[in-house]
Copies of this chain bind each other. A is one copy, B any other.
Amino acid sequence: MRSPWQHPARIVPFAFLALIAIGTALMMLPAARAEPGHAPFVTALFTAASAVCVAGMAVVDTPGYWSTFGHVLLTVLTQIGGFGIVALATLLSLIVSRRLGLRGRMLAQAESAGLTGGNTARVLIRVALVMLVAESILTVVLTLRFWLTYDYSFGRALWEAFFHAVQAFNNAGFALYSDSLVRFVTDPWICVTLALGVMAGSIGFPVLFELAREWRTTRSWSTHTFLTVTGSLLLTAVGFVVFLVFEWRNPGTLGPLNTAGKVLAAFTQDVMTRSGGFNSVDLGRLNSETIAVTNGLMFIGGGSASTAGGIKLTTFMLLGYVIWAEIRGEPDVVIRKRRIAEETQRQAVTVALMGVALVATGTVALDALTEDVPFDRALFEVTSAFATVGLSTGITSSLPPSAQVVLVVLMYVGRVGTIAVGTAIALNTRRRHYRYPEERPLVG
């Protein structure tokens, strides 16, 4: 038996567990709660895990249930969690960069996709600086809007702006309003600012760094950046059109808004769906066809090594190219005159299918643990938790504790677990030095 502490990379998932444990203990302090008494264990666990995994999913009314101290805790846990996830990707890339295996190879690629030339400290400082600058810009814009238009006191405007700026850039999505952003549905200053913050956080640091260097010379972009940017544009466009068309007349969502309001609300909800987790329309009243598309967008998620969750844009885009090559009968998968390694294709398949298996298992578990939760709502909650989106049709708070624990496990596994398990196994890999004869079973 080897100790899990033998290799530094193995500590990371335990560090996240420890962070969630500390967060749970802190959220159980009576000072964290608005009312007298302390929060129940599962409520505190769910909230802490949701913050650390930047899911932003809530089992209680965030503004009413937690005290200001509780809100400060949420901010700190979200910020540490979000930074930790990016730091994790970076550190692991340096530790296991030359080893093979699921995440080893993947993280080695993170480096070649943008994080070149830096040592650990330098990269972490750059990540921290980008976060600081982005959150500061968001805070300034939101503060001015809250202070000047909504007549908040300057102190309150600053605090609420900062809180939501951290939630937005880290793609968490806790809100200090019981209706999330529904009250701001027609306010472009609030909605567009937060949407841009979410987009910046969800594109991924390798891509951000590469875009900062060469955003004008699209031809020199790495395949990773090309896939992330085109995937993001494609899905944003699809989501926007779907929300606008399917919800145009829905009296519970876009129906009552004028045309400009419909466009703004569709854009905001579209951006928030692939990981942001805020909502400016009532998701419980979406049409079932919109819900279905929303599930797909949540499952795909954002960019690699970002604060977004899901199977990631590159995974989705790569699989599209794989299918396209296959039905055209091309021997190689080629993107912009670059051949995609067979190993990378297999990684993409593995990530996507493990995601499908997790969501399927979670949905069956949630259905089995509850009496009256319809299948579609269970699927939505589970997909949202797995992809750490945090959106809900409104059932999270009424789930029994056992079902809430299922969602906690999904958030952790969706965010930390796949990286951790993959790396741990990769570090143990035995190599084969011979190959067996090839066989081609019939498929399909």
Contact = CB atoms under 8 A, between A and B. Distances in A.
A435 interface: yes
Given A288-B367, A345-B346, A432-B332, A439 B315 contact: no
Contacts of A289: 364-365, 367-368
B101 A329 contact: yes
30 contacts: A100-B331, A103-B444, A109-B442, A109-B443, A224-B441, A288-B374, A289-B364, A289-B365, A293-B364, A304-B442, A312-B444, A315-B444, A322-B350, A326-B346, A327-B425, A328-B425, A328-B429, A330-B429, A334-B436, A335-B439, A337-B436, A338-B436, A339-B436, A340-B440, A343-B440, A344-B440, A347-B443, A349-B349, A351-B443, A356-B356
Contacts of A332: 432, 435-436
B442 A224 contact: yes
A164 interface: no
A406 to B, nearest CB: 12
A348 interface: yes
A292 to B, nearest CB: 5
Contacts of A100: 329, 331
Nearest to A346: B326
A128 interface: no
A113 B440 CA distance: 9
Contacts of A102: 326-327, 329
A342 B436 CA distance: 13
Contact of A373 (B288, B334, B378): B288
A287 B329 contact: no
Contacts of A252: none
A426 interface: yes
A11 interface: no
A438 B326 contact: no
Contact of A375 (B109, B292, B330): B292
Interface string A114-140: 000000000000000000000000000
A110 interface: yes
A49 interface: no
A292 B432 contact: no
A222 B442 CA distance: 10
A364 B443 contact: no
B425 A329 contact: yes
A344 B443 contact: yes
Nearest to A334: B436
B288 A435 contact: no
Contacts of A347: 326, 443-444
Interface string A14-38: 0000000000000000000000000
Copies of this protein in the assembly total 2
A439 B339 contact: yes
A343 B444 CA distance: 13
A296 interface: yes
Interface in A151-191: none
A360 B296 contact: yes
B378 A443 contact: no
A89 to B, nearest CB: 9
A258 interface: no
A437 B442 CA distance: 30
Contacts of A375: 288, 291-292, 374-376, 379
B441 A339 contact: no
A232 B83 CA distance: 46
Given A339-B435, A374-B374, A439-B222, A363 B292 contact: yes
A347 B350 CA distance: 15
A211 to B, nearest CB: 15
A246 B375 CA distance: 15
